[in-house]
Amino acid sequence: AASLPLIPVDDPSNQDLSYDRNYLRAEILPRIQSRWPQGLLGLGEAALQSGDDLALLESLAAIDGNLESLERLPLKPLVALAPSRQANILRTWIKRHGALMPPKARLIEFIRQLKTAEPGQHPELAWGGWLISRYRDELWWRTRPDSPAPEALLWTDKTHSIEYSPGKSIHLVRTQATDPLAIGERWLDTDWLIRTRRPNDRIQPQGSAHSRSLKNWFQEHACPPWVRSSIPVVEIEHRLACLVGWAVDRHFSPESGEASWRIEQTICREVS
């Protein structure tokens, strides 16, 4: 900066000792340096070592558990490990969400419950605005619902995404006709209704000879109850066409040689 024609600006807040960072820099660090001349060097080395240790723990968590999905975590590999490695996997998973860490005692208790719970029980770890819930053989990441179910919306311009709920939107991307979630391009010129599921909804995915109720379909695909109500439904010409991210009714699948599109969801996560 000294070699550039810049005028330095002194921020008065840098001298305000009511801020912890300023008090540490002005009062604490000079005393450490005076008492232990090598103290700051030792602190720096300890900080670097801590960073290396954290990176190793995150690498170990990636080996121990399948952390590819932010939404789900397989349970069987987790419960087979020692409690310390279980906690490391969960902390790494939580960190990837940008969430605050839960209290240590509650995390340990949750790990204990995962090992002792009967198949029909659903242990849950809740803290801040987040929840981790067990459903069948997986752990599911959840956020506490803070808004009512969204109203039905008409999606006319498919070249732009549409926000159907605060922080949640859907958009179209090109895909292959073999994609089980592909929709044929012939449907893009029609208006699409984005809504939540209804009691009489039915779907007939690719490969199914008959349609079935959404309730039965969700049970067959191990979709947790709290997820079902949050999945946006796309209705085309008064018929359920797509459960976004889960299934497409075969009536709306691409025909031979037809361009194909996939509906994807974007969720903006807020860190509290």
pLDDT tens by residue, 22-72: 888 888 888 887 888 777 777 777 766 766 656 665 665 665 566 777 788
Are residues 195 and 169 located together in one domain of the fold?
Answer: yes
Predicted confidence at residue 42, as pLDDT, reads: 72
Residue 1, domain member (yes or no): no
CA dihedral for 193, 199, 202, 205, sign (positive or negative): positive
Is the Cβ–Cβ distance between 66 and 89 less than 8 Å? no
pLDDT > 90 fraction of the chain, expressed in percent and rounded:
40
Domain extent at residue 167: 153-267
Identify the burial level of 130 via C-beta atoms within 10 angstroms of its C-beta, where 0-12 means exposed, 13-18 middle and 19 or more buried.
middle
What total number of domains does the chain contain? 3
Type of residue numbered 45: E
Higher confidence at residue 150 or residue 87? 87
Identify the burial level of 220 via C-beta atoms within 10 angstroms of its C-beta, where 0-12 means exposed, 13-18 middle and 19 or more buried.
exposed
Predicted confidence at residue 271, as pLDDT, reads: 41
Are residues 181 and 262 located together in one domain of the fold?
Answer: yes
Confidence band for 172, pLDDT divided at 50, 70 and 90: very high
What distance in Å separates the CA atoms of residue 30 and residue 95, rounded to the nearest whole number? 33
Higher confidence at residue 201 or residue 31? 201
Are residues 84 and 59 located together in one domain of the fold?
Answer: no
Mean pLDDT of 174-193: 95
Residue 260, domain member (yes or no): yes
* Element holding 135 (H helix, E strand): strand 130-135
Are residues 113 and 183 located together in one domain of the fold?
Answer: no
Place of tokens 């949640």: 168
What distance in Å separates the CA atoms of residue 51 and residue 73, rounded to the nearest whole number? 25
What distance in Å separates the CA atoms of residue 103 and residue 88, rounded to the nearest whole number? 14
Q: Indicate yes or no: pTM above 0.85.
A: no
- 233 vs 47, 122, 193, 198, 219, CA distance in Å? 49, 27, 8, 9, 17
Are residues 113 and 182 located together in one domain of the fold?
Answer: no
Higher confidence at residue 195 or residue 52? 195
Mean pLDDT of 178-184: 94
Q: Is the pLDDT confidence value at 272 over 50? A: no
Listed in sequence order, the residues at least 6 apart from 121 whose beta carbon sits closer than 8 Å to its beta carbon are 134
Is the Cβ–Cβ distance between 206 and 250 less than 8 Å? yes
Residue 120, domain member (yes or no): yes
Residue 2, domain member (yes or no): no
CATH of the domain at 100: 1.20.59.20
Are residues 177 and 235 located together in one domain of the fold?
Answer: yes
pLDDT tens digit string along 124-141? Answer: 999 988 899 998 888 999
Are residues 112 and 208 located together in one domain of the fold?
Answer: no
pLDDT tens digit string along 85-111? Answer: 889 889 989 988 888 999 999 999 999
Residue 9, domain member (yes or no): no
